A and B are shown apart, each in its own frame.
Chain A
């Protein structure tokens, strides 16, 4: 069973709307949570990181973390066509001196002009 779950989508939203991407994880020992954006054929690019419960805002992006529910989300306000990409949730556990990173399957976002 995949340890990090995401809805594969595609998630379609109109331009200017809010896109909501969700991710759940199974390992309660996880300490760091990340959202990466990946355009087709390109490498993943870090867009948000969050380490404590609550919201973290960076421009049009807001990450939300709820460790009790083992849930992390990403909100994209005022969605733009350039936001169309696959968004990967990643969970990082510092395990015995090294890092173990697990990626979700990714959610494909389509922003319709």
Chain B
């Protein structure tokens, strides 16, 4: 079965540089979430999109922005990178609604994550 695809898996940047992470949700999933997880911490919610519109916003710095495109893939753009931005970034997707062959459950399916290291 298709899963959530994230790219790149690993990324190394210098301070003050810019990074872009991509996420391709499971087909027919209409909601995408971005989470940041630092070492030894629980996932911190950054932002979510429902049907290509921003639906909720968490602790996302102003230096970060995200969007969801017409094909439902999402990109997280991070500028003026700081050392503290080094973390695992997870994308997750879920489905809402009743489809012919499944019912909304609210379960999140996570990608394998993108590890960002800022030097």
Contacts and interface: CB of A to CB of B under 8 A. Distances in A.
B107 A49 contact: yes
Nearest to A93: B106
Given A41-B88, A43-B112, A99 B106 contact: yes
Nearest to A101: B108
Interface stretch (B48-56, B62-70, B78-86): B48-56
Q: How large is the interface on B (under 10, 10 to 19, 20 to 34, 35 or more residues)?
A: 20 to 34
Contacts of B72: none
Interface in B33-77: 33, 41-43, 45, 48, 50, 55-56
A97 B55 CA distance: 9
A30 B48 CA distance: 18
B110 A102 contact: no
B88 A94 contact: no
A92 B42 contact: no
A34 B108 contact: yes
User: Which of B31, B48, B110 neighbours the largest number of chain A CB atoms within 10 Å of its CB?
Assistant: B110
Contacts of A28: none
Given A34-B108, A100-B56, A94 B96 contact: yes
B106 A92 contact: yes
B24 to A, nearest CB: 14
B113 A88 contact: no
Nearest to B90: A43
B94 to A, nearest CB: 6
A34 B107 contact: yes
A99 B90 contact: no
Interface of A: 31-32, 34, 36, 41-46, 49, 88, 90, 92, 94, 97-106
Interface of B: 31, 33, 41-43, 45, 48, 50, 55-56, 88, 90, 94, 96, 105-113
13 contacts: A34-B106, A42-B112, A42-B113, A44-B90, A46-B108, A49-B107, A88-B43, A97-B50, A98-B48, A98-B96, A101-B33, A101-B45, A106-B42
